[in-house]
Each structure stands twice: as C-alpha cells, then as structure tokens.
C-alpha cells in the first residue's frame, strides 16, 4: 500500500507540473481551429507583440478594468454582527478553488446588506480574488449559495458578456504569471494589499469567446484527471489508516498481512 501511495503521489506531482506548463502555453499561444497549440517558431507571422509579450494575431489585449463589467471589493467598514441575516464571507471561505460556507461564518443585518449592494449584486459565476493579507492571489468562483456579501479582503470580478468568459478570467488570474505580477504591485506594509485601481490596470489577453471556452475546456480536463488521482490517493491513505488501526487493536494479525 505504501508503494501505491508513493506512486500516486508522484503521479499527482507530475500532473500538476504538466498542467502548469500547458496553461502557460495556452495563455500565450492558444489553440488553432484544429484544437492544436499554435507554433510561433514554425509560423512567426501568426504572432504579434503586445504588452503581455508575443501573442497570436487574432487575439486582443485589454486591461481587466476594460474587459470586466464589474471590479469591486467588499465592505471597508466592520458591520454589526447579528444572529440571522445575510452572510459576511472572506478569504477564509475560498477553499480549493471554490467558495464554501464554514462553521465560523458571521451574519449581518439586511439593512447593511441592502446598502452595500444598492448598485450591484454578486452573481453565480463571478470570480473572486484575495487582495489583502498573506493570501493575496487566492482565487475562487461563486457557486449557488445563500445571500452573502464580502469583506474588503476579496475583490469580485465579472467579465463583459461579449468580451471575456468568467471561466477564462479565473484561469488567467490563477496562472503563475499573473500571480507574480500582482505580488510585484502589492504594497508591502504590515498588512499587504492590492488596490482595485491597480488590479483593474493589469492586462489580460482576449482570444475569441470560442477559443476562451476551448482553452478552459482543455485545462478542465486536466483538473478532472487531477481530482480523480487525488481522490484515489485519499482513499489509499484512509485504507492504510484503517489497517493501522486494526493492527493496533488486534483485529488483524501482522503475519496475515502480505
């Protein structure tokens, strides 16, 4: 069993490395009409210089502020906590790329919530980015959940419907390249932070919406494989834990284990 755990752990590491390299290629070379990576060496005429470096000629470049219909952050004031009301969530709810409720979540009054969201609402599919503290750069996507608002530590991004797929936006801001860029802009004080104006000024590549979806689908297939292997690894670890417990309690004798 130890051998299976080691083998699966090694495979997961390799899959993550492969995904990171593939993501870098997809965000700079994209996919042609046949679903293959474009080749800047074989076809340099199909590429152009841009603020992001060399990208396909079909692509455009815009700032996040230009490509998004929403760039907001959460409450800058500490609202009064109540027993019943909308949730007040934070970066603590950004878990494994998702956005989840926890036992420690607090609630605020409906009056505060309505004031906070008088002119805008958080929607399913919106992209979240941590912009304050040691977890700057952490990302998540909003899924169906009860009414909630956010603390100042989280920014909400939404791509323009005819310009930027939220799934592609999430992919890009999660990339190693973008993560390095935002940390260069972070103000290094007692509590590091990234201002919304700075976030909105970052450039993002804009393939066609069709290509954005195709790129996202390729990475999602990688994520599916990763999740499968990680689930298998967890299963192996639980089996080992159960076996060790049986050994300690005498339910299984050592000589019977082969």
Helix 2-28, helix 176-185: angle, nearest 10: 70
Are 47 and 57 contacting, i.e. CB atoms less than 8 angstroms apart?
yes
Alpha carbon distances (Å) from 23 to 83, 106, 171, 186, 255: 44, 37, 8, 24, 49
* Domains defined for the chain, CATH in brackets: 2-59+212-254 (1.10.287.1120), 65-205 (3.90.220.20)
pTM: 0.87
Q: How far apart are CA 173 and CA 191, in angstroms?
A: 21
Q: What is the pLDDT of residue 86?
A: 95
Mean pLDDT per 10-residue section of the chain, whose length is 258 residues: 89 94 95 94 95 96 98 88 92 87 91 93 96 93 93 96 97 95 82 92 98 97 92 89 77 54
Are 158 and 123 contacting, i.e. CB atoms less than 8 angstroms apart?
yes
């Amino acid at each position: 069993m130890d051998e299976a755990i080691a083998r699966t752990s090694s495979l997961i590491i390799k899959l993550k490395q492969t995904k990171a390299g593939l993501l870098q290629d997809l965000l700079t070379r994209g996919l042609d009409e046949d679903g293959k990576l474009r080749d800047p060496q074989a076809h340099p005429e199909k590429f152009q210089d841009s603020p992001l470096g060399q990208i396909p000629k079909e692509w455009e470049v815009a700032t996040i502020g230009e490509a998004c219909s929403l760039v907001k952050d959460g409450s800058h004031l500490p609202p009064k906590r109540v027993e019943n009301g909308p949730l007040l969530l934070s970066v603590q709810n950004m878990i494994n790329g998702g956005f989840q409720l926890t036992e420690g979540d607090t609630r605020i009054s409906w009056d505060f919530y309505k004031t906070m969201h008088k002119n805008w609402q958080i929607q399913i599919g919106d992209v979240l980015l941590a912009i304050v503290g040691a977890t700057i750069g952490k990302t998540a996507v909003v899924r169906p959940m009860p009414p909630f608002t956010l603390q100042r530590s989280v920014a909400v991004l939404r791509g323009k419907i005819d310009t930027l797929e939220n799934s592609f936006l999430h992919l890009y801001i999660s990339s190693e390249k973008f993560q390095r860029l935002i940390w260069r802009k972070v103000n290094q004080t007692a509590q590091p932070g990234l201002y919304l104006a700075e976030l909105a000024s970052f450039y993002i590549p804009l393939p066609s919406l069709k290509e954005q979806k195709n790129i996202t689908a390729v990475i999602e297939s990688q994520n599916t494989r990763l999740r499968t292997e990680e689930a298998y690894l967890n299963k192996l670890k639980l089996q080992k834990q159960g076996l060790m417990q049986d050994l300690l309690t005498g339910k299984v004798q050592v000589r019977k284990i082969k």
